[in-house]
Amino acid sequence: MHKNFYLFAQLIKELKPRVLGCQIGTAFTYRKNELVLTLNSDLFLRLSVAPDQPYFLISKQSVVKQPVLKLFPELNGQTILNISLLNFDKHLLIETENFRLEAVFYGNFNNIFLFDKEEKLISTFKDRLEYPETATKKPEKFALNSVEREVLEDFAASNPDQSIFTFLKKNFAALSNLLFNEILFRIQLNADLKLCDLNDSQKQRLIDTLVKIGEEMNSGTAYLYFKPDNERINRISVIPLLHLEDSEKLTARRRSSINDALSVFYREKQFVLEFERLQSVCSKALSTRLNYLRNSVEKLKKNSDLTSRKEEAELKANLLLTFKNQIPKGAREVELENIFSEEKEKIKIKLNPSRTVVANAERYFNKFKRLNEEKNIQEIKLNTYQKEIKEIEQLIADLNKIKDLDRLRKFSRKLKEIKLIQKTAAEADRQIPSSNLRYSFKRLILNKTWDVYIGKDGENNDLLTFRFANKWDVWLHAQGVTGAHVIIRVPKKDQLPPRHIIEQAAQIAAANSKAKHSSTVSVIYTQVRYVSRIRKAPPGTVKVQNEKVIFVKPLEIK
């Protein structure tokens, strides 16, 4: 009901004594859709023409830190002579000695217009200039907050063929579905019944209900409604909404000031909008990453039978060599009979048209030449994906438990720090806590247990070694050449990785260095505490003590 005419009408009654005679100072805006008028020396009159948040509210003046755009300079020094609503609609008029400010809160006309005494349009709040033609038309309808009992009784008696639905919808201004449903709930009658079919008791109940609702509207009381499962404000109303208390189990809190209640309502609404927006951003980022990881696992599992794939590749190579004289030059694909099988089935083989048949056969022979190495790479990839899946699933569970906006903001900041949500330009230079740096590096999981992190460049190497790593972690680097810093995360300072884990990490360090194409690479390793920066040296350049050397074959994991 925050957009309803009757709430606006009661708000006018409450604010009128406070603003009449006030002198307007500066008119300005500092956020989208809201105009602020300074009144005397201590009040702000705020007018919002946002389609989902229309309002005019009084608040105490406060310091506005955001950039301010000043508007309507003609109003400076003008005194407010009257404030009213136009034609049973959400159309506010503020009259001064020389001008009239009109705020339109409905349809496609949401805007604020400034007219002079000659009805000339001086300027507008938004660039749009459309002015609602309906503003000059007065509907011939009753207003629930001002109609008298005798008028209702006479009108009902003179329209006996109207149904209750028609009687209410056709003859009462600004009757929203919410108000209509409230009336039906209170009278406990079918909306299709004609007035002539009602007995005296039913007619009296209808009239009494309408009069009662009008009295409630004029009481100056506001009702804030809360959902039963939390403390979030669901609705605001100037009458008790008994049908929602019954059907949705909403609970109401009464407020003696509509201005204060509406201020609370919009603060809560703003909170909910921000909470839902931020929650959606976080949820989408986590779901996207989780789907990517799960799809990657599925692809790995589909390609997991490397032995049979090797056999298939060798079969294709042998068939190409067998039929090499029958395959046309430059062919992209051939279909050959499997002479090595009793079924003699046809096998399709893709070719590189720029290569000879023999070269294509050699390519198939070499495809799974490093079978054990390929199996090892697949296992490392699978372990890495599966561990991150568990971490993302835990983050999703943590997100679903968050009900507080501050906690959600911290959670969102964490997702930015671990590279799941993009940072804004203002956040780019903010230092990331070391605990959230793990997604700043390439990461692999060895033997389902050991986390290995690989630096990406000089600055990233420094970040890995001197901010993220613990002093007892194992540090590795290809000896004598430029390359990535590699860290084996050690859970406890007295727990060293086994020899085969150090060997695998060394292979990874070799593959991420300038020596990656060598058959054998010497790699040094030590604890992080024995690695130090060299003053004035380029990023990633370090001095190492107590190092050991291991010779390995590079293991490239893409």
473-498 pLDDT, tens digit per residue, is 999 999 999 999 999 999 888 888 99
Confidence tier at 53 by pLDDT (50, 70, 90): confident
Amino acid of residue 385: Y
Tokens at 273, concatenated: 């909008």
Question: What's the pLDDT score for residue 313?
Answer: 86
In this prediction, residue 14 has a pLDDT band, given cuts at 50, 70 and 90, of very high
Q: What is the dihedral of CA 275, 276, 281, 283, to 10 degrees?
A: 110
Ordered DSSP codes for 362-419: HHHHHTTTTHHHHHHHHHHHHHHHHHHHHHHHHHHHHHHH---HHHHHHHHHHHHHTT
Enumerate domains of the chain plus CATH numbers: 5-136 (2.30.310.10), 149-258 (1.10.8), 440-558 (no CATH)
- Per-residue pLDDT at 546: 94
Give the pLDDT of residue 429: 67
Place of tokens 């005194």: 79
Determine the 3-state secondary structure of 240 from DSSP: coil
The answer to whether residues 83 and 259 touch, using CB atoms and an 8 Å cutoff, is: no
Higher pLDDT, 173 or 304: 173
Q: What is the mean pLDDT of residues 443-467?
A: 94
pLDDT tens, 411-452?
Answer: 999 999 888 998 776 676 677 888 788 888 999 999 988 999
Q: Is 333 left (phi over 0), alpha (psi -120 to 50) or beta?
A: beta
For residues 119-136, average pLDDT: 80
pLDDT for position 306:
67
- Where residue 74 falls among pLDDT bands split at 50, 70, 90? very high
Question: Structure tokens of 482?
Answer: 């430029």
Among 232-236, 291-295, 393-397, 502-506, name the one with the lowest average pLDDT: 232-236
Tally helices (H) and strands (E) across the chain: 13, 23
* pLDDT greater than 80 at residue 67: yes
Question: 509-540: per-residue pLDDT in tens?
Answer: 999 999 999 999 999 999 999 999 998 889 99
CA angle, residues 441, 445, 449, in degrees to nearest 5: 130
pLDDT surpassing 90 at residue 10:
yes
Q: Summarize the confidence of residues 84-99 as an average pLDDT.
A: 89
Share of the chain above pLDDT 70, in %: 96
Enclosing H/E stretch for 222: strand 222-226
- Measured between its terminal Cα atoms, the distance across the chain in Å is 58
What pLDDT, on a 0 to 100 scale, did the predictor assign at position 367?
76
> Among all chains, which residue has been given the structure tokens 């921000």?
274
| Cα 206 off chain centre by | 47
- List pLDDT tens digits, range 326-365: 999 999 999 999 988 888 899 999 999 999 999 999 988 8
Q: What is the mean pLDDT of the chain?
A: 90
Query: How does pLDDT run across 366-406, given as a tens digit for each residue?
Result: 876 666 677 788 889 999 999 999 999 999 999 999 988 89
How far apart are the C-alpha atoms of 547 and 107, rounded to whole Å?
Answer: 74
